[in-house]
Structure 1
Amino acid sequence: MGRRPQGDFTVVLRHPNGHPRVVRNAPLLHDGTPMPTRYWLVDPADVAAVSRLEAAGGVNTAEAEVNADELLAAHAAYATERDAHILAEHSGPRPYGGVAGTRRGVKCLHAHYASWLVGNDDPVGRWVAARLAS
């Protein structure tokens, strides 16, 4: 990742050669700070490819092209899954929003693609995959 992790994570998707592709972050960092991004794309080639899409205006294009209701459902499912891993007795701040911490729309193609890669129904992740395949 290029820096020391500030929270717990698990590698949840690897390439066939064993190199990590996606990690799942704990919902809270070691110091209790909320971590809204549950799935993080860590493979350098994937990160670079998605970065090129973002640099070419991919966030706005994806937001305009994906089904808004499907996107809202993806945000809700993402938040529900993440929040299920916070202890009920936790009284500090909690992560908010859906994919990449946003409540609506598209904020980060990397986060959507990572979520889609691990099997979540994410229309933006699916959109990214289609663009990368073309």
Structure 2
Amino acid sequence: MTRPPFDPVTERDLRIVSVQLGRPARDVVGIAARCVCGAPTVVSTRPRLSDGTPFPTFYYLTHPVATAAMSFLEAAQLMVEYTELLVRDEEVRAAYRAAHEQYLADREMFGVVEEIAGVSAGGMPTRVKCLHALAGHALAAGPGVNPIGELALERSTWSPDVCRCPDYGVDDVDAEVTA
């Protein structure tokens, strides 16, 4: 399968993502993961925003209930626990490094930005810094790619298999947006 495996962006998607973020969506190139109801959960964003800003977070978790669940886990200091797991478990460490490399390759399909070369997201490949980014990557990439993102999703109160979306208040226009 060609990576990255995401859906094209529609006008409706952009309206939902803008509501989710509380600001206009910027430089979205695809919907990398969706809720079971079809609403965006993870977006893919250009590595250089249209204003010229380098943007390393290619897979961006936007679902409000998922982001709240990751914030709760971060407040509980789960990043420390997972960083310690990386130190002591060679298999997890190797899979996390591979996830980092895959993340970089996916992002580079949309351009190489020298200022962020080698920088993925969430602390990869050596530490755990942002569970939002790691969970977003795990949801986008699918099972078996990002072990730390998957562990965070397993521990969270949110599930990608159960819709807990609010009413986004957008109409059902589904025209595809050209990136």
How far the C-alpha of 1:133 sits from its partner, in A, is 6.3
* Aligned residue type for 2:39: H
- The normalised TM-score by structure 1 is 0.83
Matched residue, 1:129: 153
Matched residue, 1:64: 84
For the residues of structure 2 that align with 1:50 and 1:30, how far apart are their CA atoms? 28
Superposition map of 1:1-134 within 5 A: 1-66=21-86, 67-86=92-111, 93-96=114-117, 97-100=119-122, 104-120=126-142, 121-132=145-156
Structure with larger RCO (C-alpha < 8 A, sep 6+)? 2
Q: How many aligned residue pairs are there?
A: 130
Paired residues of 1:59 and 1:108 also in contact (CA < 8 A): yes
Gapped regions of structure 1 (runs ≥ 5): none
Query: Match of 2:24, SS?
Result: coil
How far the C-alpha of 1:2 sits from its partner, in A, is 1.4
- The normalised TM-score by structure 2 is 0.64
Query: Match of 1:118, SS?
Result: helix
Query: Match of 2:53, SS?
Result: coil
How far the C-alpha of 1:101 sits from its partner, in A, is 6.8
Query: Match of 2:74, SS?
Result: helix
How far the C-alpha of 1:10 sits from its partner, in A, is 2.3
| Structure 1 ranges of 4+ moved more than 3 A | 100-103
Cα-Cα RMSD: 2.2
How far the C-alpha of 1:22 sits from its partner, in A, is 0.8
